[in-house]
Structure 1
C-alpha cells in the first residue's frame, strides 16, 4: 500500500497517474507506480517533470524477480523465497497502489498463464533491468 505521505503525480493532459513524489525535507524523490526511485531528491517541479517524462516508460521492459525454477499458477509468494529460487526476468502486467502483477518474460509452455502478485511498494522484490 502506498504510504499516505507519498503524493500522486498526475500527467497534466489526461490526469493519468505517472508516479509519486516522496517528500524528503524541502525536496522530493520521484518514485514509480511500483515504488522504485526514479531519480535523486530534487525540487518538486523537476521531480514531477521526470515522472511525466519517464515514469510510465520505466515500468516497460525487463525486471528481475526471485522466483522458483518452475512457476505454476498464481499462488507463489515472492515474500517467502526459498533457497532454490533464482532471479528470473519478468514483465510488469499491472500496477495499482496496492499491488503489482508480473509474468515471466520468457515462460516455458506450462508457465504461460502464471503470474505473481507483489505488494506495492515492491522494495527489494523486484530489481530493475540493467541499462
Structure 2
C-alpha cells in the first residue's frame, strides 16, 4: 500500500461495496453517527479498497464479507460490524451484546445477506462524498 494509503491513518478503515444500496446506506449512517470522524472508507472498486481486501485474504471480485482494518488488524463479518458500532460510543456500545449469539450463527446469516445484497437492495452509483467528507475516503 502506498505511504498515503489507509494504513497511515490511525483510525479504522471500512471497505464497502460502492454500488450496493445497503452498503452506501451503511456509509451514510456512519458518516452521520461517527461524530468524532474516526472511520475512513474505501470502496472495494477503488485500488485502495481492492488492495485492502486482497491483503486480508478476501476476493475483491466477489467479497461476501464486511472488512474493517484498524491498527494493522482486520475484522470481518459480524465481528467487524460490532466493532464499528461499539466504536461509535453511547448507546451503540450495546451492539457488543451481539457477541452472545455464536459466530457460527451470526456470520452465515450475514453472508447470506451479503451474497444477495444486489437482488434484495439493488445497486446505485457509488456514494459521492461532500467536500467535508472527502478526507474520510481512501483511494
Task: Tell me the TM-score range normalised by the shorter chain.
Answer: under 0.3
Question: Which has the higher relative contact order, 1 or 2, with Cα contacts under 8 A spaced 6 or more apart?
Answer: 2
Q: Which has the higher helix share?
A: 2
For the pair shown, which has the larger CA radius of gyration, 1 or 2?
Answer: 1
